[in-house]
Structure 1
Amino acid sequence: MKNKMKTFLFYDIETSGLNPAFDQILTFAFIRTDFGLNEMDRQTITIRLRKDIVPSPKAFLTHGLTYDELEHGVSEYEAALKIHNILNTPGTISLGYNSLGFDDIFLRFLFYRNLLDPYLHQYANGCYRMDVLPITAVFRVFYPSCLKWPCVDGKPSLKLDLICSENRFVTSGRAHEAMNDVEAVIELVRRLILQKDIWKYCLGFFNKTRDEIRISSIEKTFDIQSERFSVCLMVSASFGAGKNYLVPVIRLGESRVYNNQSLWLRLDSDDIIGLGTDKDLKDTFVIRKRPGDALIVLPALERFWTKLPEASQQSADENMDKIRRHQERFLEFIEYHCRYEYPFVPDIDPDAALYQDGFFSALEKKQSDLFHKAANNRKKEVLQKIQSPRIKVLAGRIFDRNFKDEAEQSKDSEYHFYLNRLRSSLPEDQFVGYKNDIKFNCEQGMRELKEVENDLLSLNPDQKKMFGWLKEYIMNLSIPPA
């Protein structure tokens, strides 16, 4: 493995909606390059729209994928196998723009519901993940002269299409089309990589071991009773231009429930530990970071600290004084969040149960492998022999979604019942996700169609045509078959 050449896999996805547990990836586009950004391979995988997916009109009007394009795609199961192999090619560093905040979560659930290891591409065979968006935020804050930065209504923006336009990057397609966005990210990286020292330093933020070592080496200078804490800076595009994508934080410690999860308290908030309103601790908030994720931590050096807006600097000083005056409350706050467990969702749908049900066991992996290795015409036979309740349910859904046509669906089958629930507006028929959210159903699809229809005059001719097929598709999906 040491001799295996590492490569970048720049990728982007388009989806049927915004819910990673329930919505479907429709296109996966990638360009593989060497570390000099020389192209080695490129491909777009298009995936047929599943019968149990209600497409979000707003999502489709953004990415512009047509029904005809999708009909020529492969099944979700076939795509999942291909994408899993691509991301797990030894030495692959997979990256995109906001990929850790969006794309990678979709991939995780795609792999899970198709009985593939959701995390393998994060750590095995010399593979790991990166995200160009937080790196871009670092350059925006600390080396702004590297690019021309777009503004919207006088406010800075890190939107990829605007950066692409402002800097006249050359790409081959339309904005929000997957391959076009991949090309735009590579062009952006070509500019950033010119600052070799900064780029190389940023790569280290996504190496889990190096990220942990860097954070652990930050000096602890904030004393509360007998404990010492590190005051740091955290960079993320999610903090917004008003904060200069940068906030002051204190590292509180490690979660005692979840491995590799550190806890951080923002120091620029109005009420950091629930003092101002006498909040119950359950209503307070901490940032949860994992090594190598999209949250970048820096030491609070003077040259970094001065990049904070003055209001953030002042809030940090005031809040550290508050903590010193309310030390018992601060330590109680830490204890609560270090012991915090995410609420159990009793009616969670199997597609969304990745985090709640955890890793596949050795037996579950073995049974999944038997299902994968079986020829398509023998998968039903293997399915009947699966003993694990979780694998049996997920494998059954794979079979129904990918190997049965509509004529084969029995009216008393579990999948027929599943589709009827999708058409229902009753609360008890909703599919519940890991955040206690629900799967986008026919009722929501019709509601979103009406919202779009109210603004129909603002759509271009292609979007109006797309609105027509979306309306027909969702209305037909809402009607049970005779």
Structure 2
Amino acid sequence: MGFVFFDTETTGLRHGFDQIVHFAAIRTDNDLNETDRFEVRSRLLPHVVPHPSALRTNRLSIERLIDGTLPSHYEMVRAIQRTLLAWSPSIFVGYNSIRFDEEMLRHALFQTLHPAYLTSNNGNCRADALGLIMAAATLSPACLVVPLGPEGRPIFRLDQLASVNDLKHDQAHDAMADVAATLDLCRLVRERAPELWQRFIRFSKKATVGDFVESEDGFFLTEFFSNQAYHAPVVCLGPDPDQPNGRLCLRLDVPPEELALMPDEALQAYLSAKPSPVRRLRINASPTLTAFHDAPDLMLNGADLDELEDRARRLKEDAAFRSRIISLYVAVRESFAPSLHVEGQIYDGLLGPDDERRIADFHEASWLEALSIVRDLDDERLRIFGRRLIYFGGRSVLPSDLKLIVERDLTDRLVDNAAGNFTLQQALEETERLLNGEGIDADGILPGYRTYLIDRISRVTEFRAKEFAAATGLPATICSHVCDYPVKIV
């Protein structure tokens, strides 16, 4: 199986609310020889307000983002989906991709009525080069140079890693340049630490991770916090009842007999301590795992390997106690409130087979036919996103009532702090803060963005006032000061 290395540049960091504006990917064979590459950009969606820091970091002017010659967001995602499906099955690799780029891609696919889990399904696997590089720096430090910050802490920024390892990286935060740098770093690890590379490939496969954590009595789980690697000897307790791909593990610091003697209240307090001895991993997120018999002295840190194996074995053999630990832990762990906004509801349920068929038909239909398909969708999330797509691409087929619903919904994203999006006013305030000395704008991007925001705020306020005046009979000059009535995006 070959690889697809990919990267995204986005308008900000909010999954579901920000958008991809630049996507790049390089396909390789099993030996990391390039066989193909793909790159596409998108113009800005009308209801998305870029964060000024993202524009400055990615060196993207607002004039470039609203260039009418660029593909629409929908056209970009269609091209991405076609290319990645044609390159499947592959191992998909990015730099910090599991936490960020994969999430941005999933949301982009979902909001354009495509199956969201392209890189997890279709015979594909996922892996994250950031975890590989952090593991290499700890377990095989001779294979690459890691820069240090002023306080002596390692720095894993892609541009700095590429520089100190003499890798070409002409334009940091350009999607294709970042993909090429990630690929070059992986080539270094593959050449200089082949065992670590093989483990990286092995645990990119969800089924392999699941088999490993269930069959091993115990193992080391490596987690990364603040650019530091932490190695914990753990045993897998069992599946996370709230997450099908989650597995709950217990650190082996305390003999299981001592834990078993604790009353429920005391054991629950132990399990809910910060940091918790219960560690969660996702079998589909390429975790960094090491079998006990492969663990170097650095991981053991003076621990008795025989004792760790014995503790793990005793816990494995006591299914009732493992079940008790899971129940007590789940009962008190912090829960996540469901999002009020459709952009944050991607994980609120899988699509039914009828809706899967309908969204496949959507992309081959005329806009009028697409409207009929959207009306038949069972999933309300898909209906909302489908109406948006029709509004952007063929709004003339929308009845006036549906058009008004979409316009009100999208305009809220521009002005309402409670709507989830980064608003125009928030963007203006942040832009002015940056212009007043907090950061360097070497490319002169921020003044133009400030002008754009002021103009956009003025136009949106004017249109909101006119709509409110039409609805109430009040003069528009009064309504401009008091109305909160959403109107069409301009």
Query: What is the TM-score normalised by the length of structure 1?
Result: 0.79
For the residues of structure 1 that align with 2:163 and 2:145, how far apart are their CA atoms? 10
Contact kept in structure 2, 1:371 and 1:379, CA below 8 Å: yes
Q: Which residue type is aligned with residue 477 of structure 1?
A: R
1:480 matched to 2:461? The reply is: yes
After TM superposition, the structure 1 = structure 2 runs for residues 133-152 of structure 1, keeping only pairs within 5 Å, are 133-152=130-149
Q: For residues 377 and 331 of structure 1, what CA distance do their matches in structure 2 show?
A: 53
Q: Which residue number corresponds to residue 115 of structure 2?
A: 117
Using the TM superposition, give the Cα deviation of residue 331 of structure 1 relative to its aligned residue in structure 2, in angstroms: 7.2
User: Does residue 1:19 correspond to 2:14, yes or no?
Assistant: yes
Task: Give the aligned partner of residue 182 of structure 1.
Answer: 179
Preserved contact between residue 442 and residue 474 of structure 1 (Cα < 8 Å): yes
How much does 1:11 deviate?
0.7
Q: 1:268 to 1:79 in 2, by over 3 A?
A: farther
Shift of 1:73: 2.2
Distance 2:377 2:226 in 1: 48
The offset of 1:137, in angstroms, is 1.9
For the 8 Å contact 2:5–2:26, the answer to whether it is kept is yes
Q: CA distance change for structure 1 residues 466 and 142 in 2, over 3 Å: closer, same or farther?
A: same
Aligned to 2:189: 192
Residue identity opposite 1:370 in structure 2: D
Show the 5 A alignment for 1:62-461: 62-70=57-65, 71=67, 72-89=69-86, 90-124=88-122, 126-153=123-150, 154-171=152-169, 173-194=170-191, 195-219=193-217, 230=218, 232-236=219-223, 238-242=224-228, 244-265=229-250, 285=276, 286-301=278-293, 303-304=295-296, 306-307=298-299, 333-338=325-330, 345=337, 348-356=340-348, 358-376=349-367, 378-380=369-371, 382-384=373-375, 386=377, 388-404=379-395, 413-425=404-416, 430-431=418-419, 438-455=420-437, 458-461=439-442
Tell me the percent identity.
25
Deviates more, 1:368-377 or 1:202-211: 368-377
SS in 1 for 2:361: helix
Shift of 1:92: 2.2
Q: Is the 8 A contact 2:355 2:379 kept in 1?
A: yes
Cα distance in structure 2, aligned partners of 1:274 and 1:151? 44
State the shift of 1:336 in Å: 3.1
Distance 2:246 2:325 in 1: 17
Which protein is bigger by CA-based radius of gyration?
2
Query: C-alpha distance in 2, partners of 1:217/1:56?
Result: 46
Q: Structure 1 residues 56, 383: closer, same or farther in 2, change over 3 A?
A: same
Q: Alpha carbons of 1:283 and 1:302: their partners in 2 closer, same or farther (altered >3 Å)?
A: closer
Secondary structure of 2:119's counterpart equals helix
CA distance in structure 1 between the aligned counterparts of 2:85 and 2:371, rounded to whole angstroms: 28
How far apart in 1 are the matches of 2:76 and 2:127? 22
* Cα deviation, residue 338, structure 1: 4.7
- Amino acid aligned to 1:375: S
Return the alpha-carbon distance in structure 2 between the equivalents of residues 300 and 278 of structure 1. Answer: 28
Task: Report the secondary structure of 2:14's partner residue.
Answer: coil
TM-score normalised per structure 2: 0.78
> In structure 1, what is the Cα distance between the partners aligned to 2:421 and 2:274?
26
Distance verdict in 2 for CA 1:199–1:152, change over 3 Å: same
Cα distance between partner residues in 1 of 2:407 and 2:126: 38
Moved more, 370-379 or 126-135: 370-379
Contact 1:257-1:341 at 8 Å conserved across structures = no
Q: What is aligned with 1:10?
A: 5
1:9–1:92: 8 Å Cα contact kept in structure 2? Answer: yes
Distance 1:75 1:364, change over 3 A: same
Q: Which residue is equivalent to 1:224?
A: none
5+ long unaligned stretches in structure 1: 1-5, 220-229, 432-437
Q: Report the CA distance shift for 1:423/1:439 in structure 2 as closer, same or farther (over 3 A).
A: closer
Distance 2:339 2:125 in 1: 33
* Aligned residue in 1 for 2:477: none
> 279-288 or 389-398, which moves further after superposition?
279-288
Runs of 5+ in structure 2 lacking a partner?
464-490
Matched position secondary structure for 1:261:
strand
Q: Distance in 2 between matches of 1:392 and 1:282?
A: 43
The match for 2:472 is none
